[in-house]
A and B are shown apart, each in its own frame.
Chain A
Amino acid sequence: DIQMTQSPSSLSASVGDRVTITCRASQSISTYLNWYQQKPGKAPKLLIYAASSLQSGVPSRFSGSGSGTDFTLTISSLQPEDFATYYCQQSYSTPYSFGQGTKLEIK
């Protein structure tokens, strides 16, 4: 099974900051990497698919990059509504796996 490791597990930042979250796969997954945002009590929401494709309706301040084993999610200028938990997910092969999550908190 493929293991996904996110870092950091938590992050404090201010409105307007640029933030980067990293996800590493235990083996190459090409660009089969997706990012989700989850707010308390809500289902996750797809932000980025195929490592760098922005889901329709998602603000352009979100971007993704990477291939193989190392991936990043970048938020270019944090907005108040971006404070949430972020998960990466590999869809290269079943069983699919998620990272442990990165909780983004207000500094």
Chain B
Amino acid sequence: QVTLRESGPALVKPTQTLTLTCTFSGFSLSTSGMCVSWIRQPPGKALEWLARIDWDDDKYYSTSLKTRLTISRDTSKNQVVLTMTNMDPVDTATYYCARMKSSGWYVDYWGQGTLVTVSS
């Protein structure tokens, strides 16, 4: 059974760095073809893809956010970490981690999401 769970602060101040952790089970990020993405959704708005990390440690980022994002993994802990620097109120959103596979790059499993509010 595949599960993913996001964890991190619910509230961050402007200019701070956000660190989110995705802890997953039911698959290994060392297995060929496995990937984890981060996707966010501001309240009442559409989904936005942020970043992806692959089984071979390749990494991909949103064009508009790539200077602020870093994705990394700890395969021994089954965790993927996303950091986003210089947080702004417009970054207020529910952040999801999600599993993808290279057989189509669609999200077949989602975490429940974690709401991050950026406010002083």
Q: Which residues does A use to contact B, with CB under 8 Å?
A: 1, 32, 34, 36, 43-46, 49-50, 55, 87, 89, 91, 94-101
User: Which residues of chain B in 53-81 are interfacial with respect to chain A, using CB atoms and an 8 Å cutoff?
Assistant: 60-63
Q: Which residues does B use to contact A, with CB under 8 Å?
A: 37, 46-49, 52, 60-63, 96, 100, 104-108, 110-113
Which applies to chain A's interface (DSSP): helix, strand, loop or mixed?
loop
Complex CA gap A98/B96 in Å reads 14
Shortest distance between the CB of B23 and any CB in chain A (Å): 16
Known: A43-B96, A94-B52, A94-B60. A87 touches B47 (CB 8 A): yes
Please determine whether A98 and B48 come into contact, CB atoms closer than 8 angstroms. Answer: yes
By beta carbon, the residue of chain A nearest B66 is A95
Complex CA gap A87/B48 in Å reads 11
